[in-house]
Amino acid sequence: MNQDLTQQWLTEIQVIKEQMAGLQHERDAAWESAQKWRQLYNTEAEQRRTDTQLSQQAIASLKADLHKLQGLEVETLAAGTPITAIQQEIEQIKSVEDLQTKLIAVIKERDRLLQALKTEQDNHAQTRNSLTTALGDAIDSLTRERALGVGDKETVGKG
């Protein structure tokens, strides 16, 4: 009877050892999977940070260009010398014809600056759209990669 009880205990210990080995294997596989997902997450996060930084630089550059175009008149009038230069130009106008000529030149310059501003705004919108499309494509690509990665893991886990 003692021998049967001992054999029963040994069998139970062996079953528990096998269960323990299986659980340890599952734990190791889960750990490896978690590590892989962490790495993928970190890679994606780094890519997004890089994309964000590039986008912010592009936006800052475009804003600076836009402010430069918008602020051209303000900067010219804000400086002390240009105001005196403008006053001197006004004093040099002696006739209505001179005034008309000057007005035509100013209107042409205004039209040129408005066209330059519109071109810059169009370029800004196109760049923003391109960056948005590129970001969307990157997210779609990452989603596909993740979907393929998950499918591969399920196939490996079942096999």
What does pLDDT average to over the chain? Answer: 83
- Report pLDDT for 159: 45
- For the chain, what percent of residues have pLDDT higher than 90? 36
Give residue-wise pLDDT tens across range 19-63: 999 999 999 999 999 999 999 999 999 999 999 998 888 888 888
Please enumerate in sequence order all residues whose Cβ is within 8 A of that of 150, keeping only pairs 6 or more positions apart, or say none: none
Among 70, 56, 71, 72, CA closest to 128: 56
Q: 128-159: per-residue pLDDT in tens?
A: 888 889 888 889 888 888 888 765 555 544 44
